[in-house]
């Protein structure tokens, strides 16, 4: 069943007297390298994003988050920044960035950009100077003498998220810290010059017109005093929740409070979004206290298995934690660092069915939502990429994260029957599966059964129905394996079971991921299906 009403498009962010747009915004993540290519080099760019903005406006999102497009050697997909005030030629130039912002704002879309404060590139002028000698630039990073009789051992036992030691030795015998790749040396946030530099960088982009920042590794800038040993292996996992001396230290909150004041000094409700790996919902909520950041990704929800009891527990814990500090919960199912949720939920028809249902669940929950590019097309993870095309630095480090991130970064299919499916006039930097011709934007547009039209309908209804977006919810009685909750004038029912479930009819069905026919006081909801009801 698809939407049986056609709501008028209403932009909450432009409504008279509207404020705090971020509390219920739907924000679309653009992985710039893989979104759209304008010049035929096989790599997505800012002009490609600008040209496709009308697609995002029609989809119904409120804002766009752009992954890094700064000058970078691209050792980790642009998260190794050499110049925070320049656009890498791969992606265009500053004029392209400014034009993208103007066009997005013309279409009613806000734009959030990545900022990478935990580390720089090893090609950043600061780090190059630090390697050249023992001058003041070394104080901007974490350089330490080694252990052992000749300093041949790392300063402590910390491991990189990408595998192997978190320390690399320089030619003169010193060691520097990198919690990610060796090409990404960690900055020393105890040094005032580091803080002053990032204040300047934030102002540079705010003055250009960006509406906020997604803060990469927002939990990592401060390390425990003395950098103590951990005493175990398998310390840090991507999107992890471990308690570690280099993540989620209390000192990061002073930085975020300072940045919040900076953001508040600008007109237009500019926001900060934390990519924070925290061990509990309560620790995560600290990042969104009233004087800190506006949003923090809910990775507990992303990591939750397909299980009704587990989902309810995560939802309850998340809402309780964020409500305690007066913040919205920020829901997310996929991003550029994890296996796409179609595949995580089992792959094939089962995975797609569950992914569609999970999307409706997520969009019905109180708070804000992030969509990762391609999830609205039902794209699965590409699991059979040849080794020779992989780019994820974790793939090349033996004890790393299995190099899985390339599979969720394959360029989008837009149209046509053969690769690169309208991605650009040339090829694509990662090969696209042949089956994606059936999942392209053109192939799905206008098909009421498609995942794309499901998302379009859901986002339109989310704007139209007053009970969706920010606010509260109440759980309703439901059979085991079924979740049901009410909001103002609205009910959401999710059947997680592999068989039909009989539930009361709470109102008029307006959207469903599977066929639903009501004829009496109860209805049989198909397996792994979510239904929205107007009450």
Which pLDDT tens digit goes with each residue over 3-27? 333 233 334 333 333 469 999 999 9
Q: Report residues of the chain scoring pLDDT below 50.
A: 1-18, 399-403
Instruction: Provide the pLDDT for residue 397.
Output: 61
Catalytic residue among 88, 275, 337, 381: 275
Instruction: Provide the pLDDT for residue 162.
Output: 87
- Distance between alpha carbon 129 and the CA centroid of its chain, in Å? 33
Is residue 12 within 8 Å of 463, Cβ to Cβ? yes
Is residue 337 within 8 Å of 374, Cβ to Cβ? no
Instruction: Provide the pLDDT for residue 19.
Output: 63
Instruction: Provide the pLDDT for residue 396.
Output: 64
Answer yes or no: 275 catalytic. Answer: yes
Strands 110-115 and 212-215: parallel
Instruction: Provide the pLDDT for residue 389.
Output: 86
- Backbone angles phi and psi of 242, in degrees to 5: -75, 155
Instruction: Provide the pLDDT for residue 489.
Output: 97
- Backbone angles phi and psi of 196, in degrees to 5: -65, -40
Is residue 284 within 8 Å of 278, Cβ to Cβ? yes
Report the 10 Å Cβ neighbour count for 170: 12
Contacts of residue 516, Cβ cutoff 8 Å, sequence gap at least 6 = 1, 509, 523, 525, 526, 529, 531
Answer yes or no: 488 catalytic. Answer: no
Catalytic residue among 114, 216, 392, 406: 216
**Cα–Cα distance, 459 to 468 (Å, whole number):** 10
Instruction: Provide the pLDDT for residue 399.
Output: 41
What is the end-to-end Cα distance of the chain in Å, rounded?
17
- Backbone angles phi and psi of 271, in degrees to 5: -130, 160
Instruction: Provide the pLDDT for residue 520.
Output: 86
Strands 474-475 and 368-372: unpaired
Is residue 124 within 8 Å of 81, Cβ to Cβ? yes
């Amino acid at each position: 069943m698809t939407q049986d009403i056609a709501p008028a498009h209403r932009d909450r962010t432009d409504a008279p007297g509207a404020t705090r747009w971020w509390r219920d915004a739907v924000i679309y993540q653009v992985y710039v390298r893989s979104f759209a290519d304008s010049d035929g080099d096989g790599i997505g760019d800012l002009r490609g994003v600008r040209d496709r903005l009308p697609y995002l406006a029609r989809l119904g999102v409120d804002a766009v988050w752009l992954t890094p497009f700064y000058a970078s050697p691209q050792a980790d997909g642009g998260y190794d920044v050499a110049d925070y005030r320049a656009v890498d030629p791969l992606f265009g130039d500053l004029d392209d960035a400014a034009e993208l912002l103007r066009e997005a704002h013309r279409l009613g879309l806000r734009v959030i950009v990545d900022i990478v404060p935990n580390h720089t590139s090893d090609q950043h002028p600061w780090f190059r100077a630090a390697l050249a000698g023992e001058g003041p630039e070394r104080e901007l990073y974490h350089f330490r003498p080694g252990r052992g009789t000749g300093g041949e051992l790392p300063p402590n036992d910390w491991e990189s998220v990408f595998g192997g030691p978190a320390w690399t030795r320089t030619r003169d015998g010193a060691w520097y810290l990198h919690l990610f790749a060796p090409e990404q040396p960690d900055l020393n946030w105890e040094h005032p010059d580091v803080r002053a530099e990032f204040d300047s960088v934030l102002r540079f982009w705010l003055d250009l017109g960006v509406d906020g920042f997604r803060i990469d590794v927002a939990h990592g800038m401060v390390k425990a005093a003395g950098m103590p040993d951990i005493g175990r292996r398998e310390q840090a996992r991507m999107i992890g929740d471990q308690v570690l001396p280099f993540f989620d230290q209390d000192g990061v909150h002073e930085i975020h409070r300072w940045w919040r004041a900076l953001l508040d000094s600008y007109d237009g409700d500019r926001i900060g979004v934390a990519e924070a790996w925290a061990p509990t919902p309560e620790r995560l909520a600290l990042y969104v206290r009233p004087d800190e950041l506006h949003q923090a990704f809910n990775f507990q929800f992303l990591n939750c298995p397909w299980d009704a009891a587990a989902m309810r527990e995560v939802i309850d814990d998340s809402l309780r934690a964020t409500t305690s500090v007066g913040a919205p919960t920020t829901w997310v199912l996929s991003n550029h660092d994890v296996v796409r949720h179609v595949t995580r939920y089992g792959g094939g028809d089962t995975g797609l069915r569950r992914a569609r249902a999970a999307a409706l669940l997520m969009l019905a929950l109180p708070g804000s939502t992030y969509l990762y590019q391609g999830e609205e097309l039902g794209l699965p993870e590409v699991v059979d990429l040849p080794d020779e095309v992989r780019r994820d630095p974790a793939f090349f480090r033996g004890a790393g994260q299995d190099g899985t991130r390339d599979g969720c970064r394959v360029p989008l299919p837009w149209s046509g029957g053969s690769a690169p499916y309208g991605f650009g006039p040339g090829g694509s930097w990662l090969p696209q599966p042949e089956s994606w011709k059936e999942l392209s934007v053109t192939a799905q547009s206008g098909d009421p059964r498609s995942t794309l039209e499901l998302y379009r309908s859901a986002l339109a209804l989310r704007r139209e129905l007053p009970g969706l977006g920010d606010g509260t919810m109440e759980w309703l009685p439901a059979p085991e394996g079924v979740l049901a909750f009410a909001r103002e004038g609205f009910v959401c029912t999710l059947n997680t079971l592999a068989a039909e479930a009989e539930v009361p009819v709470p109102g008029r069905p307006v959207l469903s991921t599977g066929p639903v026919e009501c004829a009496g006081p109860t209805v049989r909801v198909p397996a792994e299906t979510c239904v929205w009801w107007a009450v």
